Structure 1
Amino acid sequence: MATIGQATQAVSTTSALARARQRAAYVPDLLVEAHRVANTVIAGWHGRRKRGIGENFWQFRPYVEGESLSRIDWRRSARDDNTYVRDREWEAAHTVWLWSDSSASMLFQSTLAPVSKQSRALVILLALAEILARSGERIASPGVLDPVSARNAAERLATAIDLHRDRAVFPDVSQINRHSDLVLISDFLDPAEDVLEKLAPIAKRGIRGHVLEICDPVEEVFPYRGRTEFVDPEDGVKLTAGRAESLHEEYRRTYLARRESIADSLRRLGWNFITHHTDQPASTALVALHTHLSGVPGGGVREVSS
């Protein structure tokens, strides 16, 4: 995505193909990291639990006249004067669509962050796929992976990402059905009106959206001083500031106003907006996404800084 005043030093972006090859080279390592992150937050994850057809025990409840006698749990009923039925959990597979931006601006990594934005985005994407697959959900990625329900969904998604190397363009989401969940991970550095022009029509189709903004800490704090050259990683346009510190206040206002505008607009559309900084653990963003996807009350726009 094109940036708006992004404070970045030169990033090697010789071609989209070079970026794709670089990403493909470290996807296997990111998958390992994703498994580790998923395991740190897997406790407490539950699907949308209801009574119904399934394998897992849900609850005991009083027997109702007319029900099949085969459903009675005689051992539990023998404990008191009531007759109980053993209910099982309804396991409703649901499709969650996952997408992470792979454009040039996502390669940025400052000295304040341990990883690039793209690396962190892919780890969160694959870790979320791992957790969702364990809970029986279907995983998909627009233009990359058709819906699949399997324990190894994260591995299959990682393989599909390797095969579909040009994912910098915003995906075609026309195949996503109403009431599905869509998770979008990017730095969202386009002007707010451009971002909303893409997202608003999707929200109006009844798709539940969860937007995760990946931010390198220097992009928010703008720590630069003295003569500094800034390079737009998308088109190579350069800006040289004689006294970079003189741009600090205006830059901060513009950057934060863009974020606030996107977040407020998405909230009105019923979507969630989360900010994650790459100097923080990936698990913080994963927990926030988990909360929203689980439908925990108190959702809405949420910024994650720690």
Structure 2
Amino acid sequence: MLSPELLHALHNLPLAAKQAAEGFLAGQHLSRRRGPGMEFSQYRPYQPGDDLRRLDWRLAARSDRYYIRESEVDTSLTVHLLLDASASMNHRDDNGLTKLEYGRLLLAALAYLAQQQGDAVSLSILHPQGLVHLPARADSRQLPRLYQALQNTAGTGRFPEAGQLAPLLARRQRALTVCVSDLYEEESEISTLLTRLRAVAGEVLLLHLMADNELRFSYRGSLTFEDLESGQTVQLNAEQERASYQQQLQEWLRTTAQAARRQGFDYHQLNILEPLDGALREFLRRRQATSF
């Protein structure tokens, strides 16, 4: 699995998405259900009300018993991808990659993977300039549209206000929603949106992006930190504040994960220094467990 910085260095989002996802396609199969499909699976005894067109008349003639041919048919679903494009996602890790750049790579790979699974994919980019939304489609032209929208995305401002997000909640199509965010919020605007989406659309997979230099607080000396959304600054000595910072961070991460799972989200924390395989694996697991 290529590192995220090497994938980003390709400067080719479609190629990077394919490189990141194709290793997971080997040995993976579309989720299946029993039904009148084309690929034969097994026989079962006839029951009143069964479609007689699925009756195996040759087997009935030989055995004097009636059996229905069951097949396996591909099941697909709608995958709704959400990208937090607020300014806090511009935080840069020691590998030179920002959270937003990692998020773009991740969602591009998930879109590629979902299309390979036969799913309809939509994309919503959340930033204060206005909601960018590409409706769900399963056709071959959808991926280029998604890639283009992701490539054109820049992190700016704060998370959008509730009024700007109303169109997302008006769509009541059942879907697996995948949200990529650093969960930087003033109050509870992100969790509120996801709670409402879960109520109207179904499952929510929440991928929480954290930079490695945030997790380890790998800074040295006296520094000035700036809030990327508010512009507020604070001066501190990294060595003196490291222990207190890490204690508070771990408490925040613990309560954030607990609150997300309590609200019914499938929550996973991701370190943007690490490859995308963990997120892709969680997506496949959730997709295969989801039935509409």
Q: TM-score range by the shorter chain?
A: 0.7 to 0.9
Letter matched to residue 60 of structure 1? Q
Shift in CA distance, 214/77, structure 1 to aligned 2, threshold 3 Å: farther
Q: Larger RCO: Structure 1 or Structure 2 (Cα < 8 Å, ≥ 6 residues apart)?
A: 1
Deviates more, 1:259-268 or 1:169-178: 169-178
Deviation at 1:37, TM superposition (A): 0.9
Aligned residue in 1 for 2:28: 45
Shift in CA distance, 204/117, structure 1 to aligned 2, threshold 3 Å: same
Note if contact 2:46-2:55 (Cα within 8 Å) is conserved in structure 1: no
- 1:10-89 alignment, distance < 5 Å: 29-55=12-38, 57=39, 59-62=41-44, 64=46, 67-68=51-52, 71-72=55-56, 85-89=68-72
Q: Does 1:148 align with 2:130?
A: no
Match among 91, 100, 107 for residue 125 of structure 1: 107
Paired with 1:118 and 1:273, the residues of 2 have a C-alpha distance of 19
Aligned residues: 268
Note if contact 1:53-1:91 (Cα within 8 Å) is conserved in structure 2: no
Note if contact 1:61-1:86 (Cα within 8 Å) is conserved in structure 2: yes
Aligned residue in 2 for 1:13: none
Shift in CA distance, 225/124, structure 1 to aligned 2, threshold 3 Å: same
Aligned residue in 1 for 2:128: none
Paired with 2:43 and 2:156, the residues of 1 have a C-alpha distance of 50
Cα offsets for 1:33-72 (capped at 9, x unmatched) = 11111101113434441122444x1512135277536653
| Overall identity of the aligned pairs, in % | 22
Q: Does 1:116 align with 2:98?
A: yes
Shift in CA distance, 282/126, structure 1 to aligned 2, threshold 3 Å: same
Note if contact 1:183-1:209 (Cα within 8 Å) is conserved in structure 2: yes
Shift in CA distance, 213/79, structure 1 to aligned 2, threshold 3 Å: farther
Note if contact 1:204-1:269 (Cα within 8 Å) is conserved in structure 2: no
Paired with 1:283 and 1:60, the residues of 2 have a C-alpha distance of 35
Note if contact 1:62-1:82 (Cα within 8 Å) is conserved in structure 2: no
Note if contact 1:121-1:185 (Cα within 8 Å) is conserved in structure 2: yes
Paired with 1:285 and 1:73, the residues of 2 have a C-alpha distance of 48
Match among 79, 86, 90 for residue 107 of structure 1: 90
Shift in CA distance, 73/175, structure 1 to aligned 2, threshold 3 Å: farther
Shift in CA distance, 163/189, structure 1 to aligned 2, threshold 3 Å: closer
Note if contact 2:82-2:180 (Cα within 8 Å) is conserved in structure 1: yes
For residue 139 of structure 2, give the secondary structure of its aligned residue in structure 1. Answer: coil
Shift in CA distance, 116/140, structure 1 to aligned 2, threshold 3 Å: same
Shift in CA distance, 190/251, structure 1 to aligned 2, threshold 3 Å: farther
Paired with 1:144 and 1:67, the residues of 2 have a C-alpha distance of 41
Shift in CA distance, 132/81, structure 1 to aligned 2, threshold 3 Å: farther
For residue 294 of structure 1, give the secondary structure of its aligned residue in structure 2. Answer: helix
Note if contact 2:17-2:108 (Cα within 8 Å) is conserved in structure 1: yes
Q: Which blocks of at least 5 consecutive residues in structure 1 are unaligned?
A: 1-24, 297-306
Note if contact 2:45-2:68 (Cα within 8 Å) is conserved in structure 1: yes
Aligned residue in 2 for 1:203: 198
Aligned residue in 1 for 2:273: 279
